[in-house]
Amino acid sequence: MGAFALHPQLAADTIEVGNLPLCKVLLMNDSQYPWLILVPQRPDIREVYDLNSSDQQHLWQEVTQVGEKLMAHHRGFKLNIGALGNMVPQLHVHVIARQTDDPAWPGPIWGVNPAEPYSEQALAGYLTELKQLFL
């Protein structure tokens, strides 16, 4: 069992916001939705139940707290939480604040529209907001 390393696909698709006690918090580089991804910083984890029970508890606490803060910050209509991992096997949990006028509503966001990356300026401002919110 090696050290934790972020899966290259997650690294390519996201920008790092920072680290919580267990999870790395990533911003999906898609300006269509407030879309975060939490990755437990443990090596070789594919499923939630591969974590020990203390880590499982911390994962869900961090997911729920990040979700609540993201919803409050964006006045979201509905929180979406998803742990799929069909494409990227490293355990990661999607946390998305949905709005009734977002491009995928009311369907799930995965695989619907190609990502629309943030502009450099928008990204810098949003990252500052997110760091203040979570870290």
Residue 80 beta carbon to a copy of itself: minimum distance, rounded to whole angstroms: 5
Give the residue with the Cβ less far from a copy of itself, 15 or 79.
79
Residue 88 beta carbon to a copy of itself: minimum distance, rounded to whole angstroms: 10
Task: Residue 81: name the closest of 127, 114, 48, 50 by CA.
Answer: 48
Give the residue with the Cβ less far from a copy of itself, 92 or 118.
92
Chain residues in the site for a copy of itself (CB under 8 A): 46-49, 56-57, 60-61, 64-65, 67-68, 71, 78-87, 89, 98, 105-108, 110-111
CA 90 to CA 105: how far, in whole Å?
27
Dihedral sign (CA 50, 7, 86, 123)? positive
Residue 59 beta carbon to a copy of itself: minimum distance, rounded to whole angstroms: 8
CA 7 to chain centre: 14
Give the residue with the Cβ less far from a copy of itself, 46 or 131.
46
Q: Kindly report the CA angle at 20 between 15 and 21, in degrees rounded to 5?
A: 145
Give the residue with the Cβ less far from a copy of itself, 15 or 61.
61
**Identity (one letter) of the amino acid at 19?**
N
